[in-house]
């Protein structure tokens, strides 16, 4: 008998003892109320001392004494029969006694399986079934994705109003989309500039927007983004292969370029030095003339001789000296970006050299028009200065 069966036996015995005790107390109480109090001689016909005497039961007539004790053998036999019945059922349950099938009943009677559902012995039914493995079809590891999930579907939009504390990555996760999708569909150029109460369009599937250019066709666009022509037609409700110039298409499943995502998320550049900003990007009063003028970069105050590092990988396009920037270095990057580092005390690179992100290109100083040791850091995009702060991690 295993441990589980022993626990069942002990539980059954405890319940049986409790039931027997309950039946005994009930019968005892009933006998006391019915036979003793109702069949006793009326109080007024018996002297008071006799009524109070505990021997009143022995003074009852023999006939009445027989009527009082009739229940004892009946109760005894009832308990014996009940105990035998429940013991037989318990023995069958724990496997000590095997039940024989009734005559005329088929051998294929289902037994209760997991969850109470019937199951059959497949061998008895004449079926040659082999145990499925994880490598065979039909198992959880090999069930193919339902066709409805991979079929292209019509593009639909819902709207969402930006709340305090919302960021694109969390919103995309909540909608079950890639951040690229929300960024592309809503034309977001800087995720740090997301505004409260700004209304976003939320598509019902992942993808990005693409503007048709000269010479594009459905086949070339599908090949470029590794999708199917039928998917483009279904999603965008196109009824012909002819595309109009500057038409905007939704490319299902497409992602933005990694560098574009870094630019939009403000992770394109690293800090060239670690210090504090003494003058931000934008208009300011000149520290020399007091005249309001535009400041084209960030002034970062650092101690003299602090190593200056390339903010992004690129090729050094210019080094030299300028009356305003002092010793400077200019690095050309991908996608039309350039960065300028001014007021160096020492230049530690040369023109034409390729430098990686974080590689030292000079030391901080106070050359040129400077009021103290610091780095002037400017970022250009296609020849136009932009705020570096929006692109630094």
**Tens-digit pLDDT profile for the chain (393 aa)?**
555 566 667 767 777 777 777 777 777 766 666 555 544 444 444 455 544 444 444 554 555 544 545 566 666 667 767 666 666 665 555 455 444 444 444 443 444 333 334 434 444 444 444 444 434 444 444 455 455 555 778 899 999 999 999 999 999 999 999 999 999 999 998 888 889 999 999 999 999 999 999 999 999 999 999 999 999 999 999 988 889 999 999 999 999 988 888 888 888 899 999 999 999 999 998 888 889 999 999 999 999 999 999 999 999 999 999 999 999 999 999 888 999 999 999 999 999 999 999 999 999 999 999 999 999 999 999 999 999 988 888
* Nearest in space to 297 (alpha carbons), one of 263, 262, 328: 328
Q: In this structure, are 169 and 207 located in the same domain?
A: yes
Measured CA to CA, the distance from residue 291 to residue 268 in angstroms comes to 33
Pair (260, 281) in one structural domain: no
Give a yes or no: residue 109 inside a domain. no
Domain boundary among 264, 286, 317: 264
Residue 280, token pair as written in the block: 């931000």
pLDDT for residue 7 = 60
Q: Is residue 64 part of a domain?
A: yes
Structure confidence by residue, pLDDT tens digits, 186-207: 999 888 888 999 999 999 999 9
Same domain assignment for residues 254 and 282: no
* pLDDT given at position 74: 67
pLDDT in the model for residue 290: 84
- Sign of the four-CA dihedral 196, 199, 201, 207: negative
Whether 235 is covered by a domain: the verdict is yes
Give residue 149's pLDDT. 52
Secondary element (H or E) of residue 118: strand 118-119
What confidence score (pLDDT) does residue 264 get?
87
- The number of domains in the chain is 3
Residues present in the chain in total: 393
Query: Where a domain ends, among 65, 94, 123?
Result: 94
Is 101 part of a structural domain of the chain? no
Q: What is the pTM assigned to this prediction?
A: 0.51
Co-location of 280 and 387 in the same domain: yes
The answer on 325 and 287 residing in a single domain is: yes
Asked whether residue 320 falls in the same domain as residue 375, the answer is: yes
CATH code of the domain containing 180: 3.10.350.10
Could you tell me the residue range of the domain that residue 320 belongs to?
276-391
User: Do both 296 and 207 map to the same domain?
Assistant: no
Kindly state whether residue 269 falls inside one of the protein's structural domains: no
Separation of alpha carbons 270 and 247, rounded Å: 37
In a domain, 345, yes or no: yes
In a domain, 13, yes or no: yes
Shared domain check, 332 and 242: no
Q: How far, in Å, CA of 342 to CA of 375, rounded?
A: 6
Shared-domain flag, residues 243 and 336: no
Considering 71, 94, 117, which residue would you say is the last residue of a domain? 94
Residue 122 CA, distance from chain mean position: 41
Same domain for 214 and 182:
yes
Residue with tokens 């210019």: 318
Residues 310 and 357 in one domain: yes
Both 215 and 282 in a single domain? no
CATH number for position 347? 2.70.70.10
Would 175 be classed as within a structural domain? yes
């Amino acid at each position: 008998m295993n441990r589980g069966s022993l626990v069942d036996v002990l539980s059954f015995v405890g319940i049986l003892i409790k039931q027997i005790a309950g039946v005994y107390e009930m019968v005892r109480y009933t006998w006391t109320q019915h036979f003793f109090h109702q069949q006793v001689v009326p109080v007024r016909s018996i002297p008071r001392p006799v009524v109070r005497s505990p021997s009143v039961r022995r003074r009852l007539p023999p006939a009445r004494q027989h009527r009082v004790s009739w229940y004892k053998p009946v109760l005894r036999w009832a308990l014996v029969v009940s105990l035998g019945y429940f013991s037989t059922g318990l023995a069958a349950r724990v496997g000590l006694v095997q039940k024989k099938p009734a005559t005329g009943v088929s051998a294929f009677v289902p037994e209760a399986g997991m969850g109470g559902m019937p199951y059959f012995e497949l061998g008895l039914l004449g079926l040659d079934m082999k145990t499925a493995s994880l490598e065979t079809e039909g198992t959880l590891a090999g069930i193919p994705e339902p066709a409805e999930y991979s079929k292209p579907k019509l593009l639909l939009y819902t709207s969402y109003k930006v709340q305090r504390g919302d960021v694109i990555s969390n919103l995309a996760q909540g909608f079950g989309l890639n951040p690229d999708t929300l960024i592309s569909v809503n034309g977001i150029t800087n995720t740090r500039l997301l505004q409260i109460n700004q209304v976003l369009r939320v598509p019902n599937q992942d993808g990005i927007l693409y503007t048709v250019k000269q010479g594009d066709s459905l086949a070339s666009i599908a090949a470029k983004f590794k999708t199917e022509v039928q998917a483009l037609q279904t999603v965008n409700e196109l009824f012909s292969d002819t595309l109009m110039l500057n038409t905007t298409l939704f490319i299902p499943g497409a992602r933005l370029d990694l560098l574009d995502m870094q630019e939009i998320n403000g992770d394109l550049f690293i800090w060239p030095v670690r210090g504090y900003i003494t003058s931000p990007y934008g208009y300011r009063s000149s520290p020399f003339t007091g005249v309001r003028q535009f400041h084209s970069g960030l002034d970062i105050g650092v101690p003299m001789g602090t190593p200056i590092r390339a903010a992004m990988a690129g090729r050094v396009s210019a080094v030299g000296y300028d009356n305003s920037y002092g010793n400077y270095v200019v690095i050309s990057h991908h996608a039309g970006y350039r960065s300028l580092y001014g007021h160096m005390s020492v230049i530690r690179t040369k023109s034409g050299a390729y430098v990686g992100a974080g590689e030292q290109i000079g030391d901080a100083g106070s050359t040129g028009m400077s009021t103290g040791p610091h780095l002037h850091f400017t970022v250009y995009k296609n020849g136009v200065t932009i705020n570096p702060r929006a692109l630094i991690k």
